[in-house]
Amino acid sequence: MKLYMMSDADNVHTQRWVTALAARGVEIMLFSLSNKGIEFYDKLENVTCVSFAYNSLTKIKCGGNSLSKLKYLNTVSFIKKSIKKFAPDIVHAHYASSYGLLGALVGKHPYVISMWGSDVYYFPRISPLHRWVLKYNLSCADAVLSTSNVMATETKLYTDKEPFITPFGVDVDRFSPMQTTRSEDEIVIGTVKTLLPVYGIDVLINAFALVKKSLPHKKVKLIIAGDGNEKPSLESLCKELGVLGDVEFAGRIANEKVPEFISRMDVFVALSRRESFGVAAVEAMSCAVPVVVSDADGFCEVVKDGVTGFVVPRNDAASAAEKILLLLNDCKMAEEMGRQGRLHVVENYNWKSSVDTMMEVYNNLKK
């Protein structure tokens, strides 16, 4: 099978899909609007990358490294030429509002669109024109995919097609319980999230300050993995709350190192204001780490409240701190929630099953 995939090359989810599908014998040409991250795919067999910024087939510079929303409409002819040369069985756009529009304008079938989150939750609410664009893109697709059931429900506001559910999922062999070398005297609370307002890192820091205040005689640390433009303001908040010395901003962590990073934690916390799936919580549960998450839609779908972790109201630092303390003060509860979380992920969010579903969609479209 030959697949023409359109997605951000530097995104970890793109990297995971390409790696998994290539391992199944799919020959892939990946088109990205930027050449950032393209070097990741050099190690993969049967994978070729092209972008409007840099065409790796001809080694010719084709444009700048960053493209505006309007500029990438000029890539349609470039995409058509690369599709004609590659002759794929299927074209698949990941992210319906950008790559989805390019794929719709190219007009190659069978055509698949994957919804990722803000493309359905935010984009169509900007204006009536944005809403029309999303509906147009979806109308051109032969199959529509969603990473969660809640997002599939949202997607059906813009199409009468029934979305297939293809969770990002986790590799349960890599994301598994492991022993770490951290100090027995140190309590670690942590998260893996981009430093943007939507992910509620400020709420987490406020919750941590409350936890720290409640445990004055214990060494409590907060570790935050991720980069983003909110870091300076978050550091200022830590200073204001008097916890700057107890918070570690670890920066962006390579995906292969995330399991070990999560396993350092006593409690994993993610307090997003909006979440379409909740892969971070799934990864933590797969490592048998109990979680405290916000009641954003994606988290409510993947976390069983009171069983695999706790779900608290968004923007409620006090409620988050209360549940974190409950887990820290009751080791048996924390251990049992970690165990149940691991079982829940193995049964429902195994990455292999997600890839199986994707392959089934492709195979049915080829018939």
> CA-CA distance, 223 to 336, in Å (whole number)?
23
327/271 same-domain check:
yes
Q: How many domains does the chain have?
A: 2
pLDDT for position 82:
93
Classify residue 289: in a domain, yes or no: yes
pLDDT for position 34:
85
pLDDT for position 214:
95
342/358 same-domain check:
no
Is the pLDDT at 283 greater than 70, yes or no? yes
Task: Compute the residue count for the chain.
Answer: 367
Tens digit of pLDDT for each residue in 344-363?
999 999 999 999 999 999 99
284/305 same-domain check:
yes
Classify residue 138: in a domain, yes or no: yes
Instruction: Choose among 7, 1, 168, 8: nearest CA to 90.
Output: 1
Q: Which residue type occupies 152? A: A
What CATH number has the domain bearing residue 357? Answer: 3.40.50.2000
> CA-CA distance, 178 to 352, in Å (whole number)?
21
Tens digit of pLDDT for each residue in 171-190?
999 999 887 655 667 899 99
224/341 same-domain check:
yes
Q: How confident is the model at residue 215 (pLDDT cuts 50, 70, 90)?
A: very high
197/140 same-domain check:
no
231/135 same-domain check:
no
Classify residue 300: in a domain, yes or no: yes
> Average pLDDT, stretch 204-209?
97
205/342 same-domain check:
yes
Classify residue 215: in a domain, yes or no: yes
Classify residue 343: in a domain, yes or no: yes
190/339 same-domain check:
yes
The token pair at 221 is: 């640390």
> CA-CA distance, 149 to 349, in Å (whole number)?
13
Tens digit of pLDDT for each residue in 25-81?
999 999 998 888 899 999 898 999 998 764 433 333 333 333 445 565 678 888 999
155/38 same-domain check:
yes
Mean pLDDT across the chain: 90
Classify residue 175: in a domain, yes or no: no
146/209 same-domain check:
no
- Evaluate whether 270 touches 191 at the Cβ level (below 8 Å): yes
Classify residue 333: in a domain, yes or no: yes
DSSP state at residue 123 = G
> Average pLDDT, stretch 271-299?
93
42/127 same-domain check:
yes
Is the pLDDT at 227 greater than 50, yes or no? yes
> Domain containing 315: what range?
186-348
- Evaluate whether 308 touches 285 at the Cβ level (below 8 Å): yes
86/119 same-domain check:
yes
Classify residue 156: in a domain, yes or no: yes
Point out the least confidently predicted range of 185-189, 197-201, 222-226: 185-189
How far, in Å, are 192, 265, 304 from residue 180 at the CA level?
18, 10, 26
